[in-house]
Structure 1
Amino acid sequence: MSSIRSITFRPMFLRRTSLRCWTRRMSTERCRAKGKRMRISRARPDEYDAIQRYLEDAYGLPCGFFPADYPHLWRKEHTDFRNILLIRQGGAIASLVRIFPMTLVCADATIPAGGIGAVSTSPSFRGRGYMTALMREALSAMRADGYAVSVLWGDRQRYSHFGYEHAGTVYELTFSSRSIARAGLRAAGVRRWLGERDLLTRIHAAYLQQRSHAVRTITQTRQCLMKRDCTVYVWEQKGEFAYAVRSGWRGQIVEHGGSPAGILRILIHLDQRFGAGALTVPFPGRDAVADILLDAAAGWCVRTTGMVRILDPVRLCTAYRRHFERCLPDGAELSLGIEGETGAAVSSRGGRASVRAARHPDLCLSSPQASRLVFGPCAEPLARRGTTAELCGKVFPLPFFIWPTDHC
């Protein structure tokens, strides 16, 4: 983890500079927030209870909410205090941002990612620029730690200021009682998972076989499925296996895996058992949807998987090297950059892709534009035409999907 610097902040006098220039000056620049010096530091293990009480107050939530609803992230034994950035005033926590390290597998790419969560400021300290300072420090720390992208879930107008944009692809099917009844299947073999170890092993294996998933241990899988609002159902028959995770009062599916016919039987069981009405089921893309499920769906839509910020174009393109080897024409080179930051150039020779840094890329976009272009799901219109636009159409969007159970 990179060292956390001591800074002060005067939001009203900040110049509009690139993030790179900002992070370069952070160790020497001193500003003021309403006349009071501000220090960014990392949390300590002995502050766990104070952090929980602070978050509950900041979000207006009941006592014990975070470790109960996010046990894999917020129980004390799973809390990485080095990645919790704090601002304290008068001995109390005034503002907080947490980085959640993630390793994402999307098709044949393995992407080091930093999730952002628990972004908050105590009501009595709002309006002083604390969150802005913490978010900029978090971006700097994630770059230093080697993350290719950062992801979060929140308000677009709030986080686009830091370069985040809705991106990635979720192919979502909707199932109604009428549509799944047409499948002509019975719900035989479906039951709840009640923590059995042998079933957990099969659930974990089915999850890791998905074309898109987060790298997690079997213990982490268990913690994800033990969330307070999650109920897990499994189906077994003649050696085949499937599971689905139902979440919230509306009973939507937030994770599933295994046999498509088994998943459909679980949906039939839920409809018969709870009269759940319309059920939505996410998939990493159209090619991840089996025909038996598509035929039984009442409808479908495409939406984004979250808000994404590209941190390091070179690391990102390196992670997707195999994708470029398939999609980039032999002998072609594509270079792309983010305004004020170093770009990346990908070239294809003899079926092999190579990646290097590009100081003057052919295509330079704002951070939100780059996220939309690179990760989709919709094609980003480019003012520049010709070869660069044609190559972008061949290689983008890159596959990018995160299961709701892995949100932070």
Structure 2
Amino acid sequence: MTSAIEGPRLIRPGEFRETMTLTERCFGFERGGLERRMPHCFDQTRPNRHAVVTCDGDVVSHVACVPAELRAGAATVECHGIAGVATDPDHRGNGYMTQLLEFWLDRLDSQDVPLAELEGDRLGYGRFGWENAGREQRFRITRRSFTADPAGFADVRQYRSRTDFELITEIHDRERYRITRTDRRYERLLEQRDLETLVFDRDRPAYLAYRGADPASVLEFGGSREGVTTLLGTVLETAAELEVFTHPHHPLVPSFCDLAIDWETRPHRKLNILDLPATLEAYEPLLAERWSTVVDDFGRPSGTVTLAIDGSETTDAVTVTYDATGVHVERTAREPDVVLDRRTMTRLLFGSPDACWSIRRSRPFLQAVLPLEYYFWQTETI
């Protein structure tokens, strides 16, 4: 008897719990575990974030897509994240994951979303256009390599009150690289399962969110150097070692270098450039800011560079014009100067500083303004 396959489609009323049961089973979580661990992704009130394939009425495959807005200085970039990719073991090999990913990519394209991101296997997801993008630093700090004034511990408390909430949101909203958060998103992030959040409340306040014991993982922090250092010392009262995750350009990185026994820089997440002109248009403020710092004895050079992704329509090319007055980005039908496949374009724009070095070196403007930056704090992994 032939099975009745339906989808990919968005879930219907009443299917959320069955969908989450499948996803939690595939990821090894207990019932409700993913909702408590990643409440900003798996939210029963947001059914339009979940797509499924069903077999004879049972949910057998699932992929979620969660909207986010990247912040990089004055730049804001819409970017949707793929999460909860799960297929029942008895139904694998039928192409359901491919169908669901293509379902979401088609929807994002129709909604003019410029970027999509995810975590996962680079080679597997690379078939759909995702590539390593961005950088993250991980510092290892141990009790024996750390000194802090215990007197400051008296000003440390657990996050509990509305006053603490407002302190945290005020500090985090000043971060240069982050994801835009509503109050609801803040609340859901701070209520994650097993997440401990500490607040330092003096004239130079700070906060720190961590999970685990040995090592403890510091997933998010913010505020003054004095406050963050005191909070690290507080965690090290009960943990012999901790890991701190952050963006390489965070102003506290030099302090972590002084404290750490070692550190590493690694690819952050994976991006898929769905619309190249829209991506660079959104990043125009960051491009202009960086270009404004390029000064030589003869002033800034002027010119244009036109980029395109191989196989795209001609109108998917983008021209960046630069001169002494600034930077302007626009969609164009011009013949491109640089044509790259989708993943190589991601490495050029968002890779490590030495990625696509020959292209950057041949065009001083690109060398001056790239790579572009973004950062998902570990508390809000999608």
Give the TM-score, by structure 1 length: 0.83
1:58-109 per-position Cα deviation (integer Å, ceiling 9, x unaligned) = 33321111222122332323xx222322211111112111110001112221
Residues 1:314 and 2:277 are matched in the alignment? yes
Residues 1:271 and 2:198 are matched in the alignment? no
- The answer to whether the 8 A contact 1:176-1:298 is kept is yes
Is the alpha carbon distance of 1:391 and 1:352 closer, same or farther for their aligned partners in structure 2, counting shifts above 3 Å? closer
Is the alpha carbon distance of 1:190 and 1:369 closer, same or farther for their aligned partners in structure 2, counting shifts above 3 Å? farther
Q: Which residue of 2 aligns with 1:52?
A: 20
Partners in 2 of 1:58 and 1:120 — Cα distance? 6
- The answer to whether the 8 A contact 1:333-1:348 is kept is yes
Moved more, 306-315 or 327-336: 327-336
Q: Which residue of 2 aligns with 1:256?
A: 221
Q: Which residue of 1 aligns with 2:51?
A: 85
- The answer to whether the 8 A contact 1:109-1:320 is kept is yes
Q: Which residue of 2 aligns with 1:353?
A: 327
Q: Which residue type is aligned with residue 268 of structure 2? A: T
Misfit runs of 4+, over 6 Å:
none
Partners in 1 of 2:4 and 2:15 — Cα distance? 23
1:226-255 per-position Cα deviation (integer Å, ceiling 9, x unaligned) = 111210111112x22100001134311000
Q: Which residue of 2 aligns with 1:24?
A: none
| Matches for 1:205-216 after TM superposition, within 5 Å | 205-216=170-181
Residues 1:247 and 2:222 are matched in the alignment? no
Deviation at 1:219, TM superposition (A): 2.7
Deviation at 1:50, TM superposition (A): 1.4
What is the SS of the residue equivalent to 2:146?
helix
Is the alpha carbon distance of 1:172 and 1:186 closer, same or farther for their aligned partners in structure 2, counting shifts above 3 Å? farther
Is the alpha carbon distance of 1:64 and 1:290 closer, same or farther for their aligned partners in structure 2, counting shifts above 3 Å? closer
Partners in 1 of 2:341 and 2:378 — Cα distance? 27
| Matches for 1:319-334 after TM superposition, within 5 Å | 319-328=282-291, 330-334=301-305
What is the SS of the residue equivalent to 1:301?
strand
Partners in 2 of 1:68 and 1:325 — Cα distance? 41
Residues 1:376 and 2:326 are matched in the alignment? no
Partners in 2 of 1:303 and 1:386 — Cα distance? 23
Q: Which residue of 1 aligns with 2:267?
A: 304
Deviation at 1:382, TM superposition (A): 5.1
Q: Which residue of 1 aligns with 2:339?
A: 364
1:318-338 per-position Cα deviation (integer Å, ceiling 9, x unaligned) = 111122223445522122222
What is the SS of the residue equivalent to 1:104?
strand
| Matches for 1:378-393 after TM superposition, within 5 Å | 378-381=353-356, 387-388=362-363, 390-393=364-367
- The answer to whether the 8 A contact 1:337-1:358 is kept is no
Q: Which residue type is aligned with residue 295 of structure 1? A: D
- The answer to whether the 8 A contact 1:112-1:146 is kept is no
What is the SS of the residue equivalent to 1:40?
strand
Moved more, 398-407 or 285-294: 285-294
Moved more, 68-77 or 261-270: 68-77
| Matches for 1:43-192 after TM superposition, within 5 Å | 43-77=11-45, 80-181=46-147, 186-192=151-157
The number of equivalent residue pairs is 368
Is the alpha carbon distance of 1:384 and 1:260 closer, same or farther for their aligned partners in structure 2, counting shifts above 3 Å? closer
Is the alpha carbon distance of 1:168 and 1:354 closer, same or farther for their aligned partners in structure 2, counting shifts above 3 Å? same
Moved more, 43-52 or 151-160: 43-52
Q: Which residue type is aligned with residue 241 of structure 1? A: P
- The answer to whether the 8 A contact 1:325-1:351 is kept is no
Partners in 1 of 2:76 and 2:211 — Cα distance? 27
Partners in 1 of 2:138 and 2:68 — Cα distance? 23
Give the TM-score, by structure 2 length: 0.89
1:259-289 per-position Cα deviation (integer Å, ceiling 9, x unaligned) = 11110111111112x1332x22223223522
Deviation at 1:385, TM superposition (A): 7.7
Q: Which residue of 1 aligns with 2:294?
A: none
Moved more, 285-294 or 254-263: 285-294
1:172-227 per-position Cα deviation (integer Å, ceiling 9, x unaligned) = 3332223322x667542343424211111101111111111111122321210111
Is the alpha carbon distance of 1:189 and 1:305 closer, same or farther for their aligned partners in structure 2, counting shifts above 3 Å? farther
Deviation at 1:36, TM superposition (A): 7.0
Moved more, 118-127 or 373-382: 373-382
Deviation at 1:380, TM superposition (A): 1.5
Q: Which residue of 2 aligns with 1:14?
A: none
Partners in 2 of 1:385 and 1:153 — Cα distance? 27
Is the alpha carbon distance of 1:376 and 1:228 closer, same or farther for their aligned partners in structure 2, counting shifts above 3 Å? same
- The answer to whether the 8 A contact 1:190-1:269 is kept is no
Is the alpha carbon distance of 1:99 and 1:204 closer, same or farther for their aligned partners in structure 2, counting shifts above 3 Å? same
Is the alpha carbon distance of 1:180 and 1:350 closer, same or farther for their aligned partners in structure 2, counting shifts above 3 Å? same
Unmatched 5+ stretches in structure 1: 1-33
- The answer to whether the 8 A contact 1:56-1:65 is kept is yes
What is the SS of the residue equivalent to 2:117?
strand
Is the alpha carbon distance of 1:354 and 1:271 closer, same or farther for their aligned partners in structure 2, counting shifts above 3 Å? same
- The answer to whether the 8 A contact 2:3-2:56 is kept is no
- The answer to whether the 8 A contact 1:283-1:289 is kept is no
Is the alpha carbon distance of 1:234 and 1:72 closer, same or farther for their aligned partners in structure 2, counting shifts above 3 Å? same
Q: Which residue type is aligned with residue 337 of structure 2? A: D
